[in-house]
Amino acid sequence: MKIKKFLIISLILLTNIAFSKTTTNQDSSQKTPILSKPTPYQTKTISKSYDSDQCLYPAYSAPARIDVQAGWNFIVSGSFIYWQPEMVGIDLGYIQSNDLSTQAHSVVNFDSDYYPGFKVLLGTHYDYDNWNINARYTRYHAKEKDKNSKGDIIFHVFSDTVSITPLRSIWNPQIDYFDLEVGRPYYSGKHLVIKPYASVKGGWSKQKFRLNAQVSNENQEANFRTKSWFLGPRGALDINWLLTHDFRIFLNSSISLMYQKFKTQDRFISRFYNPLTFTTKFDVKSIQLTPAIDLNPGLGWSTYFDHNNWHVDLFAAYNFVYFFNQNEFLSVDTRGDFMLHGFELSLKFNF
Protein backbone atom coordinates (compact mmCIF):
# COMPACT_ATOMS: atom_id res chain seq x y z
CA MET A 1 0.00 0.00 0.00
CA LYS A 2 2.77 2.40 0.82
CA ILE A 3 4.34 1.70 -2.58
CA LYS A 4 1.03 2.39 -4.35
CA LYS A 5 0.58 5.72 -2.53
CA PHE A 6 4.18 6.68 -3.35
CA LEU A 7 3.68 5.88 -7.05
CA ILE A 8 0.39 7.81 -7.25
CA ILE A 9 1.94 10.90 -5.64
CA SER A 10 4.96 10.71 -7.92
CA LEU A 11 2.72 10.40 -10.99
CA ILE A 12 0.72 13.47 -9.99
CA LEU A 13 3.84 15.57 -9.46
CA LEU A 14 5.37 14.51 -12.78
CA THR A 15 2.11 15.28 -14.61
CA ASN A 16 1.94 18.78 -13.10
CA ILE A 17 5.56 19.50 -14.02
CA ALA A 18 5.05 18.37 -17.60
CA PHE A 19 1.88 20.38 -18.00
CA SER A 20 3.51 23.53 -16.65
CA LYS A 21 6.40 23.25 -19.12
CA THR A 22 4.02 22.73 -22.02
CA THR A 23 2.03 25.83 -21.10
CA THR A 24 5.18 27.87 -20.75
CA ASN A 25 6.39 26.85 -24.18
CA GLN A 26 3.03 27.67 -25.76
CA ASP A 27 2.92 31.14 -24.13
CA SER A 28 6.45 31.94 -25.24
CA SER A 29 5.68 30.96 -28.82
CA GLN A 30 2.48 33.08 -29.00
CA LYS A 31 3.75 36.16 -27.19
CA THR A 32 3.44 39.41 -29.20
CA PRO A 33 6.74 41.23 -29.77
CA ILE A 34 7.11 44.44 -27.77
CA LEU A 35 6.76 47.49 -30.00
CA SER A 36 8.57 50.77 -29.42
CA LYS A 37 6.51 53.24 -27.39
CA PRO A 38 5.02 56.01 -29.55
CA THR A 39 6.26 59.51 -28.98
CA PRO A 40 3.66 61.50 -27.02
CA TYR A 41 2.03 64.38 -28.93
CA GLN A 42 3.05 66.77 -26.20
CA THR A 43 6.74 66.00 -26.67
CA LYS A 44 6.78 67.60 -30.10
CA THR A 45 8.59 70.90 -30.25
CA ILE A 46 6.09 73.55 -29.20
CA SER A 47 8.46 76.48 -28.92
CA LYS A 48 8.25 77.16 -32.65
CA SER A 49 6.62 80.33 -33.88
CA TYR A 50 3.03 80.25 -35.04
CA ASP A 51 4.46 80.95 -38.47
CA SER A 52 5.49 77.27 -38.61
CA ASP A 53 3.07 74.70 -39.97
CA GLN A 54 4.53 72.11 -37.58
CA CYS A 55 3.70 73.93 -34.37
CA LEU A 56 1.32 72.52 -31.78
CA TYR A 57 -2.03 74.30 -31.83
CA PRO A 58 -3.82 74.28 -28.49
CA ALA A 59 -7.40 73.13 -28.07
CA TYR A 60 -8.55 76.69 -27.34
CA SER A 61 -7.76 80.02 -28.94
CA ALA A 62 -4.09 80.75 -28.27
CA PRO A 63 -3.49 84.01 -26.40
CA ALA A 64 -2.00 86.86 -28.43
CA ARG A 65 -1.09 89.29 -25.67
CA ILE A 66 2.08 91.38 -25.76
CA ASP A 67 4.30 89.47 -23.32
CA VAL A 68 7.26 91.60 -22.24
CA GLN A 69 9.95 90.21 -19.96
CA ALA A 70 10.16 93.13 -17.53
CA GLY A 71 7.01 91.97 -15.78
CA TRP A 72 5.30 95.29 -15.11
CA ASN A 73 2.60 94.52 -17.71
CA PHE A 74 1.63 98.17 -18.15
CA ILE A 75 0.33 99.81 -21.33
CA VAL A 76 0.68 103.53 -22.07
CA SER A 77 -0.54 105.13 -25.29
CA GLY A 78 -0.97 108.63 -26.70
CA SER A 79 -2.77 109.59 -29.91
CA PHE A 80 -3.00 112.75 -31.95
CA ILE A 81 -6.34 113.14 -33.73
CA TYR A 82 -7.26 115.58 -36.47
CA TRP A 83 -11.03 115.41 -36.99
CA GLN A 84 -13.67 117.28 -38.91
CA PRO A 85 -17.05 117.74 -37.17
CA GLU A 86 -20.35 117.53 -39.01
CA MET A 87 -23.92 117.78 -37.78
CA VAL A 88 -27.23 117.40 -39.55
CA GLY A 89 -29.54 120.40 -39.30
CA ILE A 90 -27.20 123.40 -39.07
CA ASP A 91 -27.37 124.54 -42.69
CA LEU A 92 -27.57 128.33 -42.97
CA GLY A 93 -30.68 128.48 -45.13
CA TYR A 94 -31.28 128.66 -48.85
CA ILE A 95 -31.05 131.12 -51.73
CA GLN A 96 -34.19 131.64 -53.73
CA SER A 97 -34.15 131.20 -57.47
CA ASN A 98 -35.72 133.91 -59.62
CA ASP A 99 -36.77 131.37 -62.21
CA LEU A 100 -37.47 127.84 -61.00
CA SER A 101 -37.88 126.61 -64.57
CA THR A 102 -34.17 127.17 -65.19
CA GLN A 103 -32.63 127.03 -61.72
CA ALA A 104 -33.67 125.44 -58.46
CA HIS A 105 -33.30 126.90 -54.99
CA SER A 106 -29.82 126.26 -53.53
CA VAL A 107 -29.00 125.34 -49.92
CA VAL A 108 -26.21 127.21 -48.11
CA ASN A 109 -24.30 124.63 -46.08
CA PHE A 110 -22.27 125.26 -42.98
CA ASP A 111 -18.63 124.62 -43.92
CA SER A 112 -16.48 123.04 -41.21
CA ASP A 113 -12.73 122.48 -40.96
CA TYR A 114 -10.41 119.96 -39.29
CA TYR A 115 -9.37 120.57 -35.68
CA PRO A 116 -6.86 118.73 -33.45
CA GLY A 117 -7.56 116.67 -30.36
CA PHE A 118 -6.00 113.78 -28.47
CA LYS A 119 -6.52 110.37 -26.87
CA VAL A 120 -4.65 108.84 -23.93
CA LEU A 121 -4.77 105.21 -22.79
CA LEU A 122 -3.64 103.33 -19.68
CA GLY A 123 -3.91 99.56 -19.45
CA THR A 124 -2.54 96.32 -18.11
CA HIS A 125 -2.34 92.58 -18.86
CA TYR A 126 -3.29 89.85 -16.40
CA ASP A 127 -1.65 86.44 -16.29
CA TYR A 128 -5.01 84.88 -15.50
CA ASP A 129 -6.11 83.67 -18.94
CA ASN A 130 -4.25 86.65 -20.49
CA TRP A 131 -7.00 89.23 -20.01
CA ASN A 132 -6.41 92.86 -20.98
CA ILE A 133 -7.96 95.94 -19.29
CA ASN A 134 -7.76 99.45 -20.81
CA ALA A 135 -9.02 102.90 -19.90
CA ARG A 136 -9.09 105.46 -22.74
CA TYR A 137 -9.93 109.18 -22.65
CA THR A 138 -10.75 111.21 -25.79
CA ARG A 139 -10.94 115.00 -25.96
CA TYR A 140 -12.07 117.00 -28.97
CA HIS A 141 -12.97 120.71 -28.93
CA ALA A 142 -13.57 122.75 -32.09
CA LYS A 143 -14.71 126.26 -32.97
CA GLU A 144 -16.21 126.68 -36.40
CA LYS A 145 -16.97 130.05 -38.01
CA ASP A 146 -18.84 130.67 -41.23
CA LYS A 147 -20.19 133.69 -43.07
CA ASN A 148 -22.69 133.85 -45.88
CA SER A 149 -20.95 135.03 -49.03
CA LYS A 150 -23.40 133.75 -51.62
CA GLY A 151 -25.93 136.57 -51.57
CA ASP A 152 -29.24 137.03 -49.79
CA ILE A 153 -30.48 133.89 -48.06
CA ILE A 154 -33.63 132.90 -46.23
CA PHE A 155 -33.26 131.26 -42.84
CA HIS A 156 -36.42 130.24 -41.01
CA VAL A 157 -34.87 131.02 -37.62
CA PHE A 158 -35.32 134.72 -38.40
CA SER A 159 -37.83 134.83 -41.22
CA ASP A 160 -39.49 132.50 -43.70
CA THR A 161 -39.82 135.17 -46.36
CA VAL A 162 -37.31 138.00 -45.81
CA SER A 163 -33.78 137.65 -47.16
CA ILE A 164 -30.84 138.09 -44.79
CA THR A 165 -27.66 140.01 -45.53
CA PRO A 166 -25.22 139.34 -44.00
CA LEU A 167 -25.40 136.20 -41.82
CA ARG A 168 -22.56 135.18 -39.50
CA SER A 169 -22.48 131.91 -37.56
CA ILE A 170 -20.28 130.26 -34.93
CA TRP A 171 -20.56 126.59 -33.96
CA ASN A 172 -18.56 125.36 -30.99
CA PRO A 173 -18.81 121.54 -30.53
CA GLN A 174 -16.98 120.03 -27.55
CA ILE A 175 -16.99 116.37 -26.58
CA ASP A 176 -15.06 114.46 -23.92
CA TYR A 177 -15.60 110.75 -23.38
CA PHE A 178 -13.94 107.65 -21.92
CA ASP A 179 -13.98 103.93 -22.71
CA LEU A 180 -13.34 101.27 -20.05
CA GLU A 181 -12.77 97.91 -21.75
CA VAL A 182 -11.99 94.31 -20.82
CA GLY A 183 -10.99 91.78 -23.48
CA ARG A 184 -8.71 88.92 -24.45
CA PRO A 185 -6.74 88.98 -27.73
CA TYR A 186 -6.24 85.57 -29.35
CA TYR A 187 -5.02 83.92 -32.54
CA SER A 188 -7.73 82.80 -34.92
CA GLY A 189 -5.08 81.67 -37.41
CA LYS A 190 -1.35 82.01 -37.89
CA HIS A 191 -1.73 85.57 -39.19
CA LEU A 192 -5.07 86.70 -37.75
CA VAL A 193 -5.45 88.15 -34.24
CA ILE A 194 -8.91 88.95 -32.89
CA LYS A 195 -9.82 90.82 -29.74
CA PRO A 196 -13.48 90.96 -28.68
CA TYR A 197 -14.19 92.93 -25.54
CA ALA A 198 -16.93 94.32 -23.36
CA SER A 199 -16.80 97.98 -22.46
CA VAL A 200 -18.48 100.96 -20.82
CA LYS A 201 -18.68 104.29 -22.63
CA GLY A 202 -19.44 107.59 -20.97
CA GLY A 203 -18.72 111.29 -21.11
CA TRP A 204 -20.14 114.74 -21.64
CA SER A 205 -20.62 117.19 -24.48
CA LYS A 206 -21.28 120.91 -24.98
CA GLN A 207 -22.41 122.66 -28.11
CA LYS A 208 -22.97 126.34 -28.89
CA PHE A 209 -24.52 127.68 -32.07
CA ARG A 210 -24.68 131.46 -32.51
CA LEU A 211 -26.16 133.40 -35.44
CA ASN A 212 -25.99 137.12 -36.12
CA ALA A 213 -28.15 138.56 -38.88
CA GLN A 214 -29.75 141.74 -40.15
CA VAL A 215 -33.38 141.38 -41.12
CA SER A 216 -35.24 144.43 -42.49
CA ASN A 217 -32.44 146.70 -41.24
CA GLU A 218 -32.86 145.31 -37.74
CA ASN A 219 -30.09 143.49 -35.90
CA GLN A 220 -31.07 140.03 -34.63
CA GLU A 221 -29.27 137.27 -32.82
CA ALA A 222 -30.01 133.61 -32.11
CA ASN A 223 -28.15 131.66 -29.42
CA PHE A 224 -28.47 127.91 -28.85
CA ARG A 225 -26.68 125.90 -26.19
CA THR A 226 -26.85 122.25 -25.25
CA LYS A 227 -25.13 120.37 -22.46
CA SER A 228 -25.38 116.64 -21.98
CA TRP A 229 -23.83 113.64 -20.28
CA PHE A 230 -24.08 110.03 -21.41
CA LEU A 231 -23.26 106.54 -20.10
CA GLY A 232 -23.91 103.03 -21.35
CA PRO A 233 -22.60 99.62 -22.45
CA ARG A 234 -20.28 99.20 -25.42
CA GLY A 235 -19.29 96.13 -27.40
CA ALA A 236 -16.19 96.12 -29.60
CA LEU A 237 -14.16 93.91 -31.91
CA ASP A 238 -10.55 94.49 -33.04
CA ILE A 239 -9.25 92.51 -36.04
CA ASN A 240 -5.55 92.45 -36.97
CA TRP A 241 -4.09 90.84 -40.09
CA LEU A 242 -0.36 90.22 -39.52
CA LEU A 243 1.89 91.00 -42.47
CA THR A 244 5.61 90.59 -43.01
CA HIS A 245 8.32 92.62 -41.21
CA ASP A 246 6.08 93.27 -38.16
CA PHE A 247 3.49 95.25 -40.15
CA ARG A 248 -0.23 94.71 -39.87
CA ILE A 249 -3.50 96.07 -41.14
CA PHE A 250 -6.41 96.34 -38.75
CA LEU A 251 -10.05 97.20 -38.39
CA ASN A 252 -11.35 98.26 -34.97
CA SER A 253 -15.09 98.66 -34.52
CA SER A 254 -17.55 99.22 -31.69
CA ILE A 255 -21.19 99.99 -31.04
CA SER A 256 -22.68 101.62 -27.94
CA LEU A 257 -26.11 102.29 -26.50
CA MET A 258 -26.08 105.05 -23.87
CA TYR A 259 -28.47 106.85 -21.58
CA GLN A 260 -28.12 110.57 -22.34
CA LYS A 261 -29.54 113.64 -20.59
CA PHE A 262 -29.74 117.05 -22.29
CA LYS A 263 -30.12 120.63 -21.12
CA THR A 264 -30.97 123.05 -23.91
CA GLN A 265 -31.16 126.87 -23.93
CA ASP A 266 -32.56 128.78 -26.90
CA ARG A 267 -32.47 132.58 -27.12
CA PHE A 268 -33.78 134.82 -29.93
CA ILE A 269 -32.92 138.49 -29.51
CA SER A 270 -34.09 141.38 -31.68
CA ARG A 271 -32.37 144.82 -31.65
CA PHE A 272 -29.75 143.29 -29.36
CA TYR A 273 -27.64 146.42 -29.13
CA ASN A 274 -30.11 148.85 -27.59
CA PRO A 275 -32.69 148.18 -26.38
CA LEU A 276 -32.36 144.43 -25.62
CA THR A 277 -35.54 142.62 -26.62
CA PHE A 278 -36.08 138.86 -26.31
CA THR A 279 -38.48 137.49 -28.88
CA THR A 280 -38.03 133.85 -27.78
CA LYS A 281 -36.48 132.37 -24.65
CA PHE A 282 -36.85 128.85 -23.32
CA ASP A 283 -34.97 126.16 -21.37
CA VAL A 284 -35.55 122.46 -21.94
CA LYS A 285 -34.46 119.23 -20.27
CA SER A 286 -34.75 115.91 -22.08
CA ILE A 287 -33.45 112.34 -22.00
CA GLN A 288 -32.92 109.73 -24.70
CA LEU A 289 -31.18 106.46 -25.51
CA THR A 290 -28.31 107.29 -27.84
CA PRO A 291 -26.63 104.76 -30.17
CA ALA A 292 -23.04 105.44 -31.19
CA ILE A 293 -20.76 103.72 -33.73
CA ASP A 294 -16.95 103.77 -34.11
CA LEU A 295 -15.07 102.37 -37.11
CA ASN A 296 -11.28 102.68 -37.39
CA PRO A 297 -9.32 101.04 -40.24
CA GLY A 298 -5.56 101.51 -40.31
CA LEU A 299 -1.99 100.30 -40.70
CA GLY A 300 0.43 99.54 -37.86
CA TRP A 301 3.96 98.39 -37.06
CA SER A 302 5.19 96.93 -33.77
CA THR A 303 8.27 95.20 -32.35
CA TYR A 304 10.05 94.17 -29.14
CA PHE A 305 13.33 95.76 -28.08
CA ASP A 306 15.81 95.86 -25.16
CA HIS A 307 15.85 92.03 -24.84
CA ASN A 308 12.03 91.89 -24.95
CA ASN A 309 11.69 94.19 -21.94
CA TRP A 310 9.74 96.73 -24.00
CA HIS A 311 7.31 96.60 -26.88
CA VAL A 312 6.51 99.58 -29.10
CA ASP A 313 3.50 99.92 -31.39
CA LEU A 314 3.07 102.71 -33.94
CA PHE A 315 -0.06 102.95 -36.05
CA ALA A 316 -2.06 105.33 -38.23
CA ALA A 317 -5.83 105.09 -38.64
CA TYR A 318 -8.78 106.94 -40.09
CA ASN A 319 -11.55 107.37 -37.53
CA PHE A 320 -15.29 107.40 -38.14
CA VAL A 321 -17.35 108.37 -35.06
CA TYR A 322 -21.14 108.66 -35.22
CA PHE A 323 -23.48 109.84 -32.44
CA PHE A 324 -27.18 109.65 -33.22
CA ASN A 325 -29.68 112.45 -32.42
CA GLN A 326 -27.48 115.20 -31.02
CA ASN A 327 -28.92 118.34 -32.61
CA GLU A 328 -31.48 119.90 -30.31
CA PHE A 329 -31.01 123.39 -31.71
CA LEU A 330 -34.13 125.18 -32.95
CA SER A 331 -36.44 122.52 -31.55
CA VAL A 332 -37.32 120.67 -28.37
CA ASP A 333 -36.95 117.37 -30.22
CA THR A 334 -33.66 116.16 -31.68
CA ARG A 335 -33.26 116.79 -35.38
CA GLY A 336 -29.88 115.50 -36.52
CA ASP A 337 -26.86 113.29 -35.91
CA PHE A 338 -23.35 114.36 -34.90
CA MET A 339 -20.41 112.95 -36.88
CA LEU A 340 -16.63 113.10 -36.54
CA HIS A 341 -14.07 111.78 -38.98
CA GLY A 342 -10.36 112.23 -39.52
CA PHE A 343 -6.85 110.94 -38.94
CA GLU A 344 -5.30 109.39 -35.86
CA LEU A 345 -1.58 108.83 -35.24
CA SER A 346 -0.73 106.80 -32.15
CA LEU A 347 2.31 105.56 -30.20
CA LYS A 348 1.91 102.77 -27.64
CA PHE A 349 4.38 101.22 -25.18
CA ASN A 350 4.12 97.93 -23.28
CA PHE A 351 6.53 97.43 -20.40
pLDDT value of residue 26 = 41
Model confidence over 74-105: pLDDT tens digits? 999 999 999 999 998 887 777 777 767 776 77
Average pLDDT along the chain, 351 residues, taken 10 residues at a time: 55 52 42 35 35 54 80 90 92 73 74 94 88 96 80 71 78 96 91 94 94 77 90 96 94 97 83 59 86 97 88 96 88 77 95 88
How far apart, in whole angstroms, are the C-alpha atoms of residue 195 and residue 239? Answer: 7
How far apart, in whole angstroms, are the C-alpha atoms of residue 51 and residue 68? Answer: 20
Type of residue found at 48: K
pLDDT value of residue 278 = 59
Number of H helices, E strands in the chain: 1, 14
pLDDT value of residue 58 = 57
pLDDT value of residue 13 = 58
CB-facing half-sphere around the CA of 333: CA atoms within 13 A: 1
| CA distance from start to end of the chain | 100
How far apart, in whole angstroms, are the C-alpha atoms of residue 280 and residue 277? Answer: 9
How far apart, in whole angstroms, are the C-alpha atoms of residue 170 and residue 144? Answer: 6
> Which helix (DSSP H) or strand (DSSP E) does residue 40 occupy?
none
Of 81, 178, 84, 62, the closest CA to residue 130 belongs to: 62
| Domains of the chain (ranges, CATH numbers) | 75-350 (2.40.128)
pLDDT value of residue 189 = 85
Type of residue found at 233: P
CB-facing half-sphere around the CA of 168: CA atoms within 13 A: 6
pLDDT value of residue 348 = 95
pLDDT value of residue 61 = 82
> Which helix (DSSP H) or strand (DSSP E) does residue 9 occupy?
helix 2-30
